[in-house]
Amino acid sequence: MYKSFQRKAYQRENANSWERLFGKLLTPIEAFTRNSSASGILLIVCTLAALIIANSPWSDGYHHLLHQPLAVSLGDYKIEMSLHHWVNDGLMALFFYLVGLEIKHEVMVGELSSLSQAALPIIAAIGGMIVPALVYGAINAGGAGSAGWGIPMATDIAFAIAVLILLGDRIPAGLVTILVALAIVDDLGAVVVIALFYTETIQVGPLLAALGCFALQLALNRFGVRKPWPYLTIALVMWTLMLFSGVHATIAGVLGALATPVRTLYNPEEFSREARKLLDKFDIYRRREHNFLESERLVGVLHTLNYGINQAQAPLQRLEHSLHDPVYFLIIPLFAFFNAGVMINAASIGSLVSHPVSIGVALGLLIGKFVGVFGAVWLSVRLGIGKLPTGVNFRHVCGMGILAGIGFTMSIFISELAFKGEDLLLNNAKIAILAASIIASLAGYAWLRAGSNGDEHS
């Protein structure tokens, strides 16, 4: 009797686990925000680890690790960079590849697929890029740090979404949707800025060859090639050519993503019909053969069904899904660890409130972002160009404008390009980015939480 009871208890527990696994179907935006919130927490941990180590007795070892050379050679060709540059120029290309996939997905079927939906986040993103750049430029015009005007333009989506997730049901779902769309447009703007303004010298031959790779990817797409590996292989060659061309190599990631196919092999009706036939076969075989290990036919049905599931999804969807976790749970945390280790002492804290670069970055993120995002949304709604989603009011938009000041990943990335070889300016910029991002996170959370309490009592 005890064994019977134990078996039934196990079955109930197992059933509950399946129910938890399949009981709720997540929309792409829900899955994205859940993963982004978890990656935001990991990002904080890696950032704190880098700061602690860089200001500890292990500081020399940390910097030695950053500058450790690593070479990849093929015949007479050789690429040698420090680990720091391999992370920033190599691994971050996958981050930009994912950014490109997200941009294309949103433009094709997401929040940016129609003018009425896209107007508000696009205008908000443009305002949130122009005003911070103007604020920074006004403070650093003609100075040594004038090249850093692009630093406060970007919003870190992982951190911003993590703050919204902490607020839970206190905020409307429409606010998350606007912020995600805004950040994606923001990323596109940052990519354009990097490509046009943070390229030192251009080698025409490698650049033309890289563009030829992009054209080849477009041709494969046009002729119906749907396997991901040809696109990824060509993207790797394109990345190498971009590296030699002088244009930042991560741009290859965005171009490769834009060439990724969006067509599926099966439409939903075909997939449903064929899947039901396979499930009918599965039921027939299941009545005769109960063990997967002993039944090649059951396993064969599962493999065929799995193949059909893959073919019913666009390659863009499959790559976006498969890359999200490696990028947000490995690459970006590594980027944070390799780039956030700045020295914090009395001198650096003093320069935070006195150096033009620090002031420009901090005010650009905290004031420029808020004024740009909130002002653009307010103006577009008043002029009838855009419309706030259901449940979203200007108090929520105000909180979103504050959270848009969380720069971090893209801001640090641009600061590395703007102040390459200028350690003092780079250190000041990074400290300002970290300080402004912390302030924006806490202030945005406090504002939205206080506003939600007001809504509950009203």
Which residues are CB-neighbours of 84 under 8 A, at least 6 positions away? 66, 67, 338, 339
Q: Express as a percent the part of the chain with pLDDT over 90.
A: 30
The pLDDT tens digits of the residues spanning 339-356 come to 888 888 777 777 777 889
Strand partners, 79: 72
Among candidate residues 279, 311, 343, the one where a domain is terminated: 311
Lowest-confidence range among 22-36, 43-57, 358-372? 22-36
As a whole number of Å, the CA-based R_g of the chain is: 25
Task: Examine residue 31 and state whether it is found in any structural domain, yes or no.
Answer: no
**Residues 342 and 302 grouped into a single domain:** no
**3-class DSSP state of 71:** strand
**Residues 253 and 344 grouped into a single domain:** yes
- Residue 183 pLDDT exceeds 50: yes
The pLDDT tens digits of the residues spanning 279-300 come to 777 776 766 766 665 567 777 7
**Residues 67 and 95 grouped into a single domain:** yes
pLDDT band of 12, cuts 50, 70, 90: very low
Task: Examine residue 318 and state whether it is found in any structural domain, yes or no.
Answer: yes
pLDDT band of 213, cuts 50, 70, 90: very high
* Cα gap 341→338, rounded to integer Å: 7
**Residues 130 and 221 grouped into a single domain:** yes
**3-class DSSP state of 80:** strand
**Residues 341 and 258 grouped into a single domain:** yes
Would the pTM of this model clear 0.85, i.e. be above it? no
pLDDT score recorded for residue 290: 65
**Residues 408 and 447 grouped into a single domain:** yes
**Residues 278 and 381 grouped into a single domain:** no
**Residues 181 and 281 grouped into a single domain:** no
> To the nearest whole number, what is the mean pLDDT of the chain?
81
Q: Under a CB-based contact definition with an 8 Å cutoff, are residues 455 and 167 in contact? A: no
The DSSP letter of residue 26 is P
Domain containing residue 217: 36-263+314-452
Report the domain count for the chain.
Answer: 2
**Residues 66 and 205 grouped into a single domain:** yes
pLDDT band of 232, cuts 50, 70, 90: confident
Task: Examine residue 136 and state whether it is found in any structural domain, yes or no.
Answer: yes
Task: Examine residue 27 and state whether it is found in any structural domain, yes or no.
Answer: no
**CATH code assigned at 405:** 1.20.1530.10
- Tokens representing 209 are 């060859």
Task: Examine residue 224 and state whether it is found in any structural domain, yes or no.
Answer: yes
